[in-house]
């Protein structure tokens, strides 16, 4: 029993604190990359470990994983997976051995069999210990970088994907050369527009890309080549799709009857090649459209650009990321120049001190000194007349370095060579100061050098285009048959004992009209209930939407008869809609459907109680305008009609009409 309940902590409070800690850890340390260097912690630690090991030779991946575990406390599996992923991007790591195949989905060989080293590009762009900020590793035994000083938009070049707690990131990879050119545009004050590029090539529609911001969308396709009337060839893949997934989706669509193919052959080796053999008589263009509509030949991707900025997840877009990355590169280049400037100044200062120390024979004056303090004082006094020419104050450490000069060096000192070396260092210093004063110009030159050295072979692979929307119902094969049980009110492709209507596909919507004046549109299935007494049934497509319906109905309230003409161009699915006045016991007496607006004349006979002359009258549908399907219609009689027949006075053939009479259900 708790002695003091006021000081107790509830389980819910503990859970809330722990959950927030866990969520923050996953977001910051596992799933979402940091903006500055574009890396997740495991990637950063792998690269840092490889830099420690760098000697120009390949290292076993198992050894690299072991070295990385000094910095990453999550086991070898996560490190190995991240390392293989980095290697497959073919930018920062040179690989040797079987590193798997992103096209086929084959995994890499075991870590003990494959090797890796840092690429020349990575060594030039990613590392510089002199400007790197450090932090203790998880066990305090080592130092690891907080961020690596990456002088390139690495995050946009490689892309990133991760799922955290409550958020996710999905950043598309972009073209190496285009990123450099876009960075140069930003430095020149221009506004670039980045579009993704994938190593898997293919086609991409960026109409709704929106810079990869949250809510944007990409459509990515394989480029399907029509070799001949019987053969299609797929030579590239949509981003994130493998040949295995592609073939499985094609076989599944074929089994479902959505596409008609004879065989799928996978000839993929170094390059993707999937051969699709068609059934004779099949249109290759239609099959290609069906492949885009029903298989992984086309995929839709929803980018979501989320990165860590100042230890917080931020949603942004790739163009803004590139601008921030370019500014960061500018800052890093400035830091490197400042370091270079200080190093040159120090070299020039020490060279000058050495020259004075030797040429002015100050080293001779210290021979008579009896104490080390006297030596320091003598050298300091000898340098006094020259101190004004130096950029900073001469310290005791500078004097101590002079005392370490060996007699052999003094005896072989060459004043001419020393002056020449000093002149070169001063030229370098002047150039460095000029670059600092013209930092933007220097950054543009830097990016151009990167493009010249590493841009060859990194040209755009994915073709940017726009795709027309493919109506799946138009390209799908008629893989089902439509049946109807009119009396009980069911339709579907499983009612094979009942009335056959037509061939159809399993994507078709079916329009039904019932005797009580209700109509509905529902997706076909094995068995679908539409309502009893179905008098009209048709696939709801473009043809149906252009049909003109001629209707006569009896109002259930007072028995009056109405006539109307209308089209059903659209309808809300799975909902009953009225064609009458919505009164109970209303009934359709006559319905005809025509593909045009030509109308017939019908003869109506009233119920008993009228003379023969008053009992029969005609309705000319041509005199009724085509209106809304929800309209009440034109009242043709305040009495109930007994029967309706087509008049012999009709001036055109009614062979192309669908006609229903109450006595001909």
Report the catalytic residues.
Answer: 113
Q: How many CB atoms lie within 10 A of CB 157?
A: 20
CA 10 and chain centroid, separation: 43
Q: Going by C-beta distance under 8 Å and a sequence separation of 6 or more, which residues neighbour residue 544?
A: 511, 538, 568
Q: In Å, what is the CA distance from 410 to each residue of 158, 359, 387, 396? A: 54, 9, 21, 21
Q: Identify the DSSP state of 522.
A: E
User: What sign has the CA pseudo-torsion 485, 490, 491, 495?
Assistant: negative
Cβ–Cβ < 8 Å for 316, 213 = yes
Nearest to 117 by CA among 96, 145, 97: 96
How far is residue 203's CA from residue 183's CA, in Å, rounded to a whole number? 25
Structure tokens at 426: 């001063």
Cβ–Cβ < 8 Å for 116, 93 = yes
Nearest to 650 by CA among 642, 659, 663: 659
Cβ–Cβ < 8 Å for 261, 287 = yes
Cβ–Cβ < 8 Å for 486, 665 = yes
618 burial class (0-12, 13-18, 19+ CB within 10 angstroms)?
A: exposed
CA 112 and chain centroid, separation: 34
Cβ–Cβ < 8 Å for 127, 148 = yes
Cβ–Cβ < 8 Å for 142, 136 = yes
Beta bridge partners of 594: 548
Cβ–Cβ < 8 Å for 190, 446 = no
Nearest to 550 by CA among 592, 601, 594, 596: 592
Give counts: helices (H), strands (E), the chain. Answer: 19, 34
What is the chain's length? 665
Q: In Å, what is the CA distance from 57 to each residue of 53, 83, 90, 115, 608? A: 9, 17, 17, 10, 106
Q: Going by C-beta distance under 8 Å and a sequence separation of 6 or more, which residues neighbour residue 616?
A: 603, 604, 605, 606
| Continuous segment of H or E residues that includes residue 474 | helix 472-475
623 burial class (0-12, 13-18, 19+ CB within 10 angstroms)?
A: exposed
621 phi and psi angles, rounded to 5 deg: -65, -20
- Tokens 């049980």 locate to 485
3-state percent breakdown (helix, strand, coil) of the chain, nearest 5? 35, 25, 40
């Amino acid at each position: 029993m708790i002695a003091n309940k006021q000081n107790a902590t509830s389980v819910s409070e503990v859970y809330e604190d722990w959950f927030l800690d866990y969520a923050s850890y996953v977001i910051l340390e596992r799933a979402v990359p940091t903006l500055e260097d574009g890396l997740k912690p495991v990637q950063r630690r792998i690269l840092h470990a490889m830099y420690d090991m760098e000697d120009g030779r390949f290292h076993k991946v198992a050894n690299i994983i072991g070295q990385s575990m000094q910095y990453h406390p999550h086991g070898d599996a996560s490190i190995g997976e991240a390392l293989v992923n980095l290697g497959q991007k073919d930018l920062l790591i040179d690989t040797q051995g079987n590193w798997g195949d992103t096209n086929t989905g084959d995994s890499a060989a075991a870590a003990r069999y494959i090797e890796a080293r840092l690429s020349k590009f990575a060594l030039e762009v990613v590392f510089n210990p002199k400007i790197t900020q450090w932090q203790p590793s998880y066990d305090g035994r080592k130092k690891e970088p907080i961020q690596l000083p990456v002088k390139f938009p690495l995050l946009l070049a490689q892309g990133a994907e991760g799922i955290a707690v409550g958020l996710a990131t999905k950043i598309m990879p972009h073209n190496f050369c285009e990123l450099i050119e876009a960075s140069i545009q930003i430095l020149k004050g221009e506004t670039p527009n980045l579009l993704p590029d994938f190593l898997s090539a293919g086609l991409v529609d960026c109409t709704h890309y929106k810079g990869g911001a949250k809510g944007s969308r990409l459509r990515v396709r394989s480029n399907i080549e029509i070799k001949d009337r019987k053969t299609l060839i797929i030579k590239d893949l949509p981003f994130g799709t493998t040949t295995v997934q592609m073939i499985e989706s094609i076989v599944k669509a074929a089994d479902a009857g959505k596409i008609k193919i004879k065989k799928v052959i996978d000839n993929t080796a170094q390059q993707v090649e999937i051969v699709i053999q068609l059934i004779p008589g099949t249109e290759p263009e239609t099959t290609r459209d069906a492949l885009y509509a029903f298989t992984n030949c086309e995929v839709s991707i929803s980018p979501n650009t989320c990165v860590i900025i100042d230890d917080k997840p931020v949603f942004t877009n790739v163009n803004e990321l590139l601008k921030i990355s370019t500014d960061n590169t500018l800052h890093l280049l400035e830091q490197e120049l400042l370091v270079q400037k200080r190093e040159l100044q120090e070299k020039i200062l020490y060279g000058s001190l050495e020259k004075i120390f030797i040429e002015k024979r100050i080293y001779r004056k210290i021979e008579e000194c009896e104490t080390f303090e006297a030596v320091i004082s003598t050298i300091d006094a000898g340098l006094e007349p020259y101190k004004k020419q130096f950029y900073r104050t001469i310290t005791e450490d500078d004097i101590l370095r002079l005392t370490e000069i060996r007699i052999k060096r003094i005896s072989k000192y060459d004043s001419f060579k020393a002056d020449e070396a000093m002149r070169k260092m001063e030229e370098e210093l002047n150039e460095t100061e000029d670059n600092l004063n013209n930092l933007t110009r220097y950054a543009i030159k830097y990016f151009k050098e990167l493009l010249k050295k590493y841009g060859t072979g990194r040209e755009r692979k994915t073709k940017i285009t726009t795709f027309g929307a493919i109506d799946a119902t138009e390209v799908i094969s008629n893989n089902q048959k439509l049946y109807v049980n009119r009396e009980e009110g069911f339709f579907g492709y499983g009612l094979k004992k009942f009335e056959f209507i037509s061939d159809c596909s399993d994507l078709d919507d079916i329009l039904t009209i019932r005797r009580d004046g209700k109509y509905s549109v529902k997706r076909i299935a094995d068995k679908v209930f539409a309502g009893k007494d179905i008098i009209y049934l048709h696939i709801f497509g473009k043809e149906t939407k252009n049909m003109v319906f001629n209707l006569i109905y009896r109002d259930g309230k007072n028995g009056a008869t109405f006539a109307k003409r209308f089209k059903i161009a659209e309808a809300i699915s799975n909902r009953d809609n009225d064609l009458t006045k919505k009164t109970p016991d209303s009934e359709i007496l006559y319905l005809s459907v025509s593909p045009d607006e030509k109308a017939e004349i019908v003869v109506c006979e009233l119920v008993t109680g009228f003379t023969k002359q008053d009992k029969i009258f005609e309705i000319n549908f041509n005199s009724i305008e085509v209106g809304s399907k929800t309209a009440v219609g034109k009242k043709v009689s305040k009495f109930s009609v007994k029967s309706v027949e087509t008049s012999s006075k009709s001036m055109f053939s009614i062979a192309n009409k669908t006609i229903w009479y109450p006595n001909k259900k």
